[in-house]
Structure formats: structure tokens, C-alpha cells
Chain A
Amino acid sequence: MPQPSQFDETDCIARAQRGEVAAFSELVTRNQDRIYRFLVRMTRSQEDARELTQETFLSVYQALPSWRPQAQLSTWLFRIARNQALDRLRRARHVEFVALDDALHQQVPADTPTPEAMLQARQRIAELERALARLSVEHREILLLRDIEDMPYEDIAQVLGIGLGTVKSRIARARAGLLQHMPR
């Protein structure tokens, strides 16, 4: 998904703050899939992720007057989405692994050459998703932000409200944990 340039984004937010519904809708359209992708792997439920994505943007709408251009919109969005997910997980008390929709596992890279390679790729994706689901929430969220969303350490520190040193060590522990859950 194309990311908005800083100028466009700031301008868009300013217009949304002035009450332009079209500008707010543009912000939603540009970010909805990123937030949903994060939430679906946090909650392991497509239904919860859909609902929480909506709640995230409704919270953003209400908090929009307090947003200042010094803050980065994406880190703000992910912080709100993460809080929504943690609330939901806390209320659920325990989280069971629920397989993501099969259709998701069917998505393999387009350049996969043979049917055997395609099958292997699907299996690998399923294994990785299962291993991710077995990680603690703390480790899962940081890997989602770093390795799937490609977020810099500084932004991760802001989303999670932790120091840079903690980001670095937690990413390393999460990766080591994920490697342990993966079949050799």
C-alpha cells in the first residue's frame, strides 16, 4: 500500500481537524489495511480485528483535535490499535490459537515456480503463522511492528512506550523465541 508523503499527510490531518469528512476518510483509506493486518495477528481473530479497526479509527476521530504535527500519525495509530487489542485480549483472559482463514495461507508469492514449491511455501507460511501465534503478546507485537510493518526502532519505542535499549533486546529475544517454535 502506498504510504502518504509527510506533507500530504500533515495537510490531510489539518483538513480533517477542521472538520473535512473527506480528509478523514482519506486517512482511513490509506491506513485501514495496515492497522487491520496488525490487529488480525495480535488478536488471532478476523472478526475482532475488523471490529477493533473500526474502534481504532473512531478513537482517532475523537482524539483528532489533540493531535499535533510533531507526532507521527502512523505511530499514533498503532499505539491506539495496540491498546484496543490489549484490552480485548485482557478481557478474553486467555488466548487460544485460532488458525487464520485458509484463504490467507493460500496466498503464496507469485514467482513460486512449481506446484511442489507452492505447497512448500504454503506450509512454511502456516508454520510461521502458528509460531507467531505461540509467542507471548509482548514478543509478537514487537515482531509485527519491526519485521512486518518495517518500523524503525525509534517508532517502535514510541508505540510501545519503552526505551530504545529495551526495543533492541526485546526484538532479539522475540526472534530467538520464534526460531525455537519453527521446525528445522
Chain B
Amino acid sequence: MTCPRIEDLSAFVDHALPARRQAALQSHLRACPVCSQQLDALRALRQELHALPSPTLGFDLAAQLQERLRDRRPPRAARPRRAGWDLLGWMPTGLAAGAALVSGLWMGGLLLGTGAAIPTTFAAADPAMARVFDPVPPGGLCAATEICRLPRNLP
């Protein structure tokens, strides 16, 4: 067997090679002092790194975070929900929709000239007045020309 790459020696230190490869490398190491020395250096390095002093934060981070957590958005699951909150949340939308419906019916009543919504002073006195709301033909200026036209005998 030729000398293994550093990649394999490093994986050998970590027991991260497949069993057959690990065994083959093991027998090579018995016969190769160069690779054996390199392996020892890698092992010693790993041990030294593992034994390095472990700096600690030195204070209770959890206690310190409590203040800042209040400013942050809490987890979704933690958000409290009051009973019926969902229904109340839809109330403004419902009111707006209701108001739009009522005003639409009232205006529709004006255009059709029927129903109690039509003010007597406006439609009952002169039904032709409601025609000003009719669609205007292309090029036209007024749906009810008899209303829009100015009388000739203006003072």
C-alpha cells in the first residue's frame, strides 16, 4: 500500500473511515514510520485542542435576556388568545360591508325610481330628474337632454 493522503490520516484519527479502509491503513502504519509520525502529530494536536481552557460567559444570560425578550415578538404559540377574539376581530370589516350594502341599495333605489328610498321632493315631483343618472351615449354630454338644455328665454 502506498502512503495515504493526509485526508485519510485525519479521518483515521476521527474513526471516520470505512472499516476496511481503517484496517488497511492500520497495517500500513505498522510498517511506515513517516505516516506513523504524522498520525501521532495529528492525534496530539486533537488532544491539545480538546484540552484547551474553556472560557465561560460568566453571568446568567437567561436572566439578562428576560428584559430584551419583552421587546421582541414572542413565539407564535405563546401569544395569548381571548375567547371570541376572532369574531371581534372581524367586526370592523362586517360593519363596513353592511354600510356599503345599505348605501348601494339606497342609490339603486334612486336610479330605478322605485321604493321608499326615493325622496318625494326629488323623484316623485319630477321622475325625469332621475334620468340624469342614466348611461350617457358616446359623444353625448347629458343622458336627459331636456333637463340639461338651457332654456332660450333666459333673462
What is A's interface to B at a CB cutoff of 8 Å?
16-19, 21, 24-26, 28-29, 32-33, 36-37, 40, 46, 50, 53-54, 57-58, 61-62, 64-65, 100-101, 104-105, 107-109, 124-125, 128-129, 132, 143, 146-148, 150, 153, 168-169, 171-173, 175-176, 178-179, 182
- Secondary structure dominating the interface of B: helix
Q: Complex formed: what's the CA distance from A128 to B68 in Å?
A: 37
Q: B120 an interface residue at 8 Å Cβ cutoff?
A: no
Q: Are A58 and B72 in contact (CB under 8 A)?
A: yes
Majority SS of interface residues in chain A? helix
Interface residues of B (CB under 8 A from A): 5-7, 9-11, 14, 16, 41-42, 45-46, 48-57, 60-66, 68-69, 72-79
Tell me the number of A-to-B contacts counted with CB atoms below 8 Å: 120
| Residues A58 and B61 in contact in the complex (CB < 8 Å), given A16-B75, A109-B51, A125-B53 | no
| Contact present for A19 and B10 (CB under 8 Å) | no
CB of B42, distance to nearest CB on chain A (Å): 6
Identify A65's interface contact among B46, B62, B75, CB under 8 A: B75
A22 to chain B, nearest CB (A): 9
- Selected from A36, A57, A147, A169, the residue in CB contact (under 8 A) with B55 is A36
Report yes or no: B53 in contact with A58, Cβ–Cβ below 8 A.
Answer: no
